[in-house]
Structure 1
Amino acid sequence: MNTQVPEQVATAQKVCVEALYGFFSTGFATYERLVALNLQATKASILENEALASEALALSTSDPQSFFELQSRQSQAATKKAQAYWQHVNEIAAETRNQLLASNEKLAGEYVRGTQVIIDSLAQNLPAGNEAIIAFWSKGFGAMWDAGNAWHEQTKAAAKEAVDVIDKARKSVAKA
């Protein structure tokens, strides 16, 4: 019995667990950034609204025309602030997406390499006289390898397409 195979399987499982926690960590860091952005935006909004309310109250009694001009200017400023806010959200989303795609690519590469090492180790350590088993393993694992590579390429293409769609949507929001 080959003792390397269980060690290699354990190593592969460790890589998967580390990748899972890496995804969680990236997601949590993104959540923290969004919460910080929302807190900052809320605080600024409260302070601005307080100042605006004081100014509007003073203008509403003395000069109604200036009051309406103030409301118009505030409406335009609010639109620009909303656009800036969503631009920040889009930047955070794009950075997170890039980090997750890079992590996914790295994990897939490590998984493929680890699987190949396990397959090679099993094939080399079969008892002599079992050529039929070796041929079966070679063909079976070769087919699995090809299917895995095809799936990996399809996943990469789908992820790239999703990234392109998100980028187009982000750019259209930024232009609006």
Structure 2
Amino acid sequence: MLTPEQMVASQKANMETLYGLTAKAFEGMEKLVELNLQATKAALNESAQHAQAVLSVKDAQELIALQASLFQPMAEKAAAYSRHLYDIASGTTAEFGKAFEGKVAEGQAQFAALVDNAAKNAP
């Protein structure tokens, strides 16, 4: 049976874990917001540059060439954004996984101790 001190220690450890996971979740969200702000700023700047380039076009051939030259950089930027997004998500998920594994190991140890204690005190 758990003593009051053990229960308090267990609750304290659970709260610390909860606060740690909450901090990691907010950290991941901060990174995501920062990534989206950077992507939005870059998109706005590129849109302004593209508009200026379109306004300076003299004929249809030049316009077609300009449009064609934009597709490759857009694909590369989309791929880079996806990689950054994946890195943020996998880093945050890894932190949650570590915490979960730690709690599972702790629970197994407590269960083993309970079984040992019950076996020692069995009639």
The alignment of Structure 1 onto Structure 2 pairs a total of residues equal to 123
TM-score, normalised to structure 2, is 0.85
Q: CA RMSD in A?
A: 2.5
Give the partner amino acid of 1:81.
Answer: K
Q: Shift of residue 96 of structure 1?
A: 1.2
Paired residues for 1:14-163 under 5 Å? 14-59=12-57, 62-114=58-110, 116=112, 119=114, 134-135=121-122
Alpha-carbon distance in 2 for matches of 1:58, 1:50: 13
Gapped regions of structure 1 (runs ≥ 5): 125-130, 137-176
Alpha-carbon distance in 2 for matches of 1:64, 1:38: 34
Where 1:90 maps in the other structure, the secondary structure is helix
Name the CA shift for 1:34/1:97 in 2 (closer, same or farther; >3 Å): same
Name the CA shift for 1:27/1:21 in 2 (closer, same or farther; >3 Å): same
Percent of pairs identical after alignment? 33
Gapped regions of structure 2 (runs ≥ 5): none
Alpha-carbon distance in 2 for matches of 1:123, 1:16: 25
Name the CA shift for 1:122/1:11 in 2 (closer, same or farther; >3 Å): farther
TM-score, normalised to structure 1, is 0.61
